[in-house]
Amino acid sequence: MTALQSMWLAFFGIFLMFASAALSVLSHKLSGFLRFLVLAVSFIFLVTAGLIVFVTVVRGPLAE
């Protein structure tokens, strides 16, 4: 993976974090099963973003 690809992957992780936060806020306006579904998707986004950021940070800077 090149440094540019690593940067885009990190940006995607950050986007997933923002999407997770937005879905959490949206879920407060919903009720019932739909609220559970939106919160579940939000949690999946958050876990995926955390893994992406962890992998990006552990790999460290990439020299070209």
Q: Is residue 64 part of a domain?
A: no
Q: Is residue 38 part of a domain?
A: yes
Q: Is residue 39 part of a domain?
A: yes
User: Total structural domains in the chain?
Assistant: 1
Task: List b or e across 1-39, with b for residues whose CB sees 16 or more CB atoms inside 10 angstroms.
Answer: eeeeebeebbeebeebbeebeebeeebeeeeeeeeeebb
Whether the CB-CB separation of 13 and 45 falls below 8 Å is answered with no
Q: Could you list the residue range(s) of the whole structural domain that residue 23 is in? A: 3-59
Q: Is the pTM of this model over 0.75?
A: yes
First CA to last CA distance, the chain? 10
Question: pLDDT of 7-45, one tens digit each?
Answer: 899 999 999 999 999 999 999 999 899 999 999 999 999
| Distance between CA atoms of residues 6 and 33, nearest Å | 37
User: Tell me, what's the pLDDT at 64?
Assistant: 63
Split at pLDDT 50, 70, 90, the class of 59 is confident
